[in-house]
């Protein structure tokens, strides 16, 4: 993808002043050294006059310039001295010296003494002060209202739909924009008009910005790219001025595409009763709304915007006639992930035995950015072991690194700590293997990884899944509680290693109660406050419930977690021999796969895919 040329920034330091002063001193010293005129004291001048050695002089109001009949010891004939004696004319005439008068200064001396220094300091001001203004985002008072959009043309974009994979539905929606920009008359032969604005909505890393650049590359038109945060500055009115300037530039460059990334920074919902720092953002948003109403899409200006938080955008921005269409750019499915992997695999040397279909199956829930990072990490892993090509094991290691974190080989655990972590992780794995609705176990390890994980249990889904039942979520809670339950079963108490498990279990149980209405006591309703209401509250609330309902919610969440703990305990008590054997083998080998330890394999039923995250002990 193209990148706009970057302007080099200069940092102002006191050394600039020192160097400039030194340069002026050296310049003055050099001019004095090469000057044919020698400065002499007035007393020496009087003596030279009395000895008849002065041929002629030019008398100015404040100095005397002259030439001698014989050179001075320095070899110079010309001299200059300050004028002191006002009665000098008689003495000069008595010795036959030719005297000429002169006025002070002239246009040449004026330029040398005033214009050149002023020009020099102007250059210093431009170089240093303007550089400081650009670095701090001011950009000069004359350009403060100018748009900061980076302009790309077709040859700069270098991105087409061939470089974008996994978002076929979004590409189909945007084909109409390309058709209009290429041939507006044919597109509108039936009276249809292209949408004024198209909003790309999706999670971070799904390729919204790349898709917008691909539209510009396919259409072969100018592409104005700017972030929503670049409109708002510390001065009131600057954001609105920049919006006006951006659309004016776009009209002059039509046909073209305006792309505003992270538009939620600019188009956040206007909450009533809030003032102060929100005034500038509201003025900027109002100007954007006015520009959307004012420009004619038939002129060839298309507005694209991207956000991952559409729920906080102002309703006036999303109404018909402004952003007419919303295009979902979601996480890719299995076929989409396979297409994305093939695009990125073109940049690396891939081993012949690598099956990208299997890699796509192991990366459920990954976004396009995650897959690009995965391919790069696999290539780094292969380079680290001096392999001739990137193999499947490198992809497995890269997935493990991304999901669970980097190995902490320097973190050495004590004997009892390793034993507790082994039982903890084996508890997660055995509960997961006993429940058919959760993701199958791929690997169990007691090697510390990431920031605080002393071990981890990696579960990978085998297929995409978009709905979860209450029993599915209850089984996931049981898996999360499996590690803590195993500790209590073997050691009689619990440790701090289950902190992350408890946090995630609490989040799942909380959503089951307040978001999905899966508890009969609390009722089949949602208690989550809407995004609009959250913006109107001075102190954000997590739930919209009375005090009595809040107590019922707390009791329901606790009951769900306790039930999950009892379910996990029943499983582990029945499989205690597997727990003992698995923990002993894990202490010996540190890492186990389902192929190496048969009790970890799925018992009954088939796996239903889900979210691609590991079950890990903190």
Catalytic residue numbers read 425
Token code pair at residue 164: 């974008």
Pick from 14, 339, 44: nearest CA to 163: 339
Alpha-carbon gap, residue 543 to 529, rounded angstroms? 6
Q: What are phi and psi of 259, to 5 degrees?
A: -120, 120
Alpha-carbon gap, residue 542 to 445, rounded angstroms? 36
- From start to end of 195-312, where are the E strands? 197-201, 222-227, 256-261, 301-307
Q: What are phi and psi of 12, to 5 degrees?
A: -85, 130
Token code pair at residue 77: 């004939």
Sole residue written with tokens 């959250």: 534
Alpha-carbon gap, residue 519 to 393, rounded angstroms? 44
First to last CA, the chain: 39
Counting Cα atoms < 13 Å in the Cβ hemisphere of 76 gives: 15
Distances in Å between the alpha carbon of 131 and those of 87, 96, 149, 160, 472? 56, 62, 19, 36, 59
Using the CB atoms, write b or e for 190-215: b if 16+ within 10 Å: eeeebbbbbbbbbeebbbbbbbbbbb
Whether omega before 591 lies within 30 degrees of 0, making that bond cis, reads: no
CB proximity list for 257: less than 8 A, separation 6 or greater = 177, 181, 212, 215, 216, 219, 221, 222, 223, 224, 301, 302, 303, 304
Token code pair at residue 165: 């994979």
CB proximity list for 207: less than 8 A, separation 6 or greater = 164, 166, 167, 329, 367, 368, 369
Token code pair at residue 134: 């650009």
Alpha-carbon gap, residue 184 to 196, rounded angstroms? 14
| Neighbour-count burial of 25, counting CB atoms closer than 10 A to its CB (0-12 exposed, 13-18 middle, 19+ buried) | exposed
CB proximity list for 357: less than 8 A, separation 6 or greater = 338
Residue 383 burial (CB count, 10 A):
12
Helix axes 470-491, 547-574, angle to 10 degrees: 60
The residues that bridge with 222 in the sheet, in sequence order, are 256
Alpha-carbon gap, residue 277 to 272, rounded angstroms? 13
């Amino acid at each position: 993808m193209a990148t706009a040329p970057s302007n080099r920034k200069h940092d102002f330091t006191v050394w600039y002043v020192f160097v400039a002063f030194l340069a002026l001193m050296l310049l003055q010293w050099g001019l004095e050294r090469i000057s044919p005129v020698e400065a002499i004291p007035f007393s020496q001048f009087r003596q030279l006059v009395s000895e008849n050695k002065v041929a002629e002089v030019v008398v100015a109001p404040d100095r005397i310039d002259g030439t001698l009949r014989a050179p001075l010891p320095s070899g110079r004939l010309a001299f200059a001295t300050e004028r002191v004696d006002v009665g000098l004319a008689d003495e000069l005439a008595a010795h036959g010296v030719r005297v000429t008068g002169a006025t002070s200064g002239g246009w040449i001396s004026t330029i040398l003494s005033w214009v050149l220094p002023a020009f020099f300091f102007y250059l210093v001001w431009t170089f240093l002060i303007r550089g400081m203004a650009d670095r701090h985002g001011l950009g000069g008072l004359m350009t403060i209202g100018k748009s900061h959009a980076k302009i790309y043309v077709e040859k700069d974009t270098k991105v087409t739909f061939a470089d974008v994979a996994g978002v076929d539905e979004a590409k189909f929606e945007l084909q109409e924009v390309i058709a209009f920009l290429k041939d507006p008359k044919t597109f509108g032969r039936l009276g249809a008009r292209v949408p004024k604005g198209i909003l790309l909505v999706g999670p971070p890393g799904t390729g919204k910005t790349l898709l917008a650049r691909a539209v510009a590359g396919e259409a072969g038109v100018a592409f104005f790219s700017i972030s929503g945060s670049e409109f708002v500055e510390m001065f009131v009115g600057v954001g609105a001025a920049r919006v006006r300037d951006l659309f004016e530039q776009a009209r002059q460059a039509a046909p073209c595409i305006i792309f505003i990334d992270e538009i939620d920074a600019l188009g956040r919902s206007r909450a009533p009763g809030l003032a102060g720092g929100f005034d500038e953002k509201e003025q900027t948003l109002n100007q954007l709304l006015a520009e959307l109403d004012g420009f004619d899409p038939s002129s060839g200006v298309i507005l694209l915007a991207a956000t991952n938080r559409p729920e906080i955008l102002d309703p006036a921005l999303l109404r018909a006639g402004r952003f007419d269409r919303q295009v979902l750019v979601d996480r890719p499915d299995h076929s989409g992930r396979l297409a994305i992997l093939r695009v990125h695999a073109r940049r690396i040397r891939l081993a012949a035995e690598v099956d990208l279909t299997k890699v796509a199956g192991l990366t459920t829930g990954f976004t396009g950015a995650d897959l690009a990072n995965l391919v790069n990490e696999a290539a780094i892993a292969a380079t680290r072991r001096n392999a001739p090509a990137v193999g499947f094991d490198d992809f497995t290691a890269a997935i493990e690194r991304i999901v669970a974190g980097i190995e902490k080989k320097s973190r050495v655990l004590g004997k009892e700590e390793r034993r507790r972590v082994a039982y903890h992780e084996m508890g997660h794995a055995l509960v997961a293997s006993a429940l058919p609705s959760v993701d199958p176990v791929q690997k169990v390890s007691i090697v510390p990884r990431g920031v605080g994980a002393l071990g981890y249990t990696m579960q990978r889904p085998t297929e995409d899944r978009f709905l979860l039942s209450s029993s599915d979520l209850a089984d996931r809670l049981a898996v999360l509680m499996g590690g803590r339950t195993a500790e209590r079963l073997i050691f009689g108490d619990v440790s701090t290693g289950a902190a992350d498990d408890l946090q995630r279990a609490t989040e799942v149980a909380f959503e089951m109660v307040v978001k999905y209405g899966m508890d009969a006591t609390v009722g089949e309703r949602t208690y989550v406050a809407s995004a609009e209401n959250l913006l109107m509250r001075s102190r954000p609330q997590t739930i919209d419930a009375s005090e009595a309902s809040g107590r019922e919610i707390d009791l329901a969440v606790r009951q769900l977690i306790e039930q999950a703990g009892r379910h996990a305990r029943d499983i582990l008590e029945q499989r205690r021999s597997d727990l003992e054997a698995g923990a002993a083998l894990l202490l010996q080998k540190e890492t186990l796969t389902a192929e190496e330890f048969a009790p970890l394999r799925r018992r009954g039923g088939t796996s239903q895919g889900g979210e691609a995250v590991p079950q890990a002990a903190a």
